[in-house]
Amino acid sequence: MRREAHVGGIFRRVVFYQKRPFTPAQFQRFMFAQSKPYPEMIDLVAQLKVRYGLKIAVVSNEARELNEHRIRKFKLDEFVDFFISSCFVHVRKPDADIFRLALDIAQAPARQVVYIENTPMFVQIAEGLGFEAFFTRTTGHLRKIGFIRIAE
């Protein structure tokens, strides 16, 4: 069964609480079309996992349908060990509990975690919990700050 045909959860509650000029299926197709991979970042993380035997966890705030779509479309489950997604765990960033949950699931102390994030506030929260955290949107930025040099 294809999940794309069903719009439920947060999409239905937040967007379709009133009549709209588009259907739930049209909205879902639109949302899925907005999902774009960051191939350089995906490649970097996958390479680091293989090279150093790392556990990879993704902590995200997303609706279930969008989360499942991205995992499937971008084949994230081929290298990610754990998905700590707000839609699954019912807690969201910036709540520190989602980061603590990620540590519990990974069975790793914060001092052994490198956290890469594209929202400055979430970087600050992770650092406050003892993570080594980096704000970036590109691998070019990671190269500029020396992270990629360290990783290579």
Strand runs labelled E in 8-136: 57-60, 82-85, 114-117, 132-135
Q: Give the pLDDT score at 2.
A: 42
3-state helix, strand, coil in the chain (%, to 5): 55, 10, 35
pLDDT tens per residue across span 112-135: 998 999 899 999 999 999 999 988
Q: Is the pLDDT assigned to residue 1 strictly greater than 50?
A: no
pLDDT tens per residue across span 58-96: 999 998 989 999 999 999 999 999 999 999 999 999 999
Q: Can the peptide bond before residue 24 be classed as cis, meaning omega within 30 degrees of 0?
A: no
